[in-house]
Amino acid sequence: MAPEAAKRGEPDTCRRQPISPEEADDLISQCDTMLESIQGDILDAAALAQEAGFTVESDLTAIRTGTAATVLTAGHSNTDHVVVWTQDYATDRIAELKRNMATRVRAQQPEAKGQDRWDKPKLPGERRRRIVREKDAPEAPPEPPSSGYIIFLGQMTTKMRHDRPNEQHSQTRVVQEISKMWRIGLSDEERQYYADFCEQARVEYKQQDLEFRATGTFKPSEEFVREAGVGLWVRKTWKKKNVLEKEIAQYDTVKFPMRPPEFDEAYKKREIESKRRRKLKQKGLLNEDGTEKPL
């Protein structure tokens, strides 16, 4: 009994009170009745939705049978963390037992671990990345950039790499230049073009994602295209392209090497020196000004 309640002579409502088997059976019967009533309402809603050309899906059947949830989440429930607390010990205890039993049933279902859940086929000496989200699957629709600036950044990076084929590429310096162009060099209308580009691409992606989740395939975009591996988004229709996109469309390629071949040897030397200095720093053999301490 809590100290405050004992002083006032009130009963301790937090103490768990035992119940008889008859009361437990009655509570379970009430839960089943409520579930059957809700399931009937869902069936009625599904019939009405079917007449309008839509479908209604529910996880209530999965909770009772332990099957639908395993199909949707491969044996893992997305709602196990949701617990309704009624402050009635008997009701809450029965709900907890039901939830635990449903979780155990789902845990016994085998998880789908086919080769299609990896980004690459298994090859000797190769490393594979586990696909944990639907949008990471190779066959999933590509997720568009989060802003118009990111689209402009990808297009201008492609242009700069095309215009400077014999210069060593530094993405850090390139981003600084492009950011100045975005803030100062572009007009409000040009920035609005990229904002509309991003918004339209994301609206279309949402439809493709719904279609992919329902059928496993999706209809390719007729308005936008993303060059795999370079992060370049452009419009497909020539009339809708802006000046920069029309220029990029005339390039022989948009995939450029990381650096010109003549810079490879210098790059390798810098990498070796950088690793050596990192080891010295870890051992405490570098001064604050970067000079090496005498051995």
Please check whether residues 88 and 156 belong to one and the same domain.
no
C-alpha span between 234 and 154 (Å, rounded)? 9
Asked which of 23-27, 111-115, 173-177, 238-242 is least confident by mean pLDDT, the reply is: 111-115
Q: Is residue 5 part of a domain?
A: no
The pLDDT mean for the chain works out to: 76
Is the separation of the CB atoms in 19 and 90 below 8 Å? yes
**What local confidence, expressed as pLDDT, does residue 66 receive?**
41
The range of the structural domain enclosing residue 149 comes to 138-258
- The CATH number assigned to the domain holding 145 equals 1.10.30.10
Other beta carbons within 10 Å of 156: 20
Q: Is residue 281 part of a domain?
A: no
Q: What's the average model confidence in pLDDT over 99-126?
A: 64
Confidence of residue 132 (pLDDT cuts 50, 70, 90): low
Tokens of 195: 């904002």
Q: What burial letters (b/e) apply to 129-148, b meaning 16+ CB within 10 Å?
A: eeeeeeeebeebbeebbeeb
C-alpha span between 203 and 216 (Å, rounded)? 19
**What local confidence, expressed as pLDDT, does residue 49 receive?**
64
Rg (CA), the chain: 30
Q: Is residue 197 part of a domain?
A: yes
Q: Is residue 8 part of a domain?
A: no
Number of domains in the chain: 2
C-alpha span between 295 and 291 (Å, rounded)? 12
pLDDT(64) > 80: no
Q: What's the average model confidence in pLDDT over 281-290?
A: 85
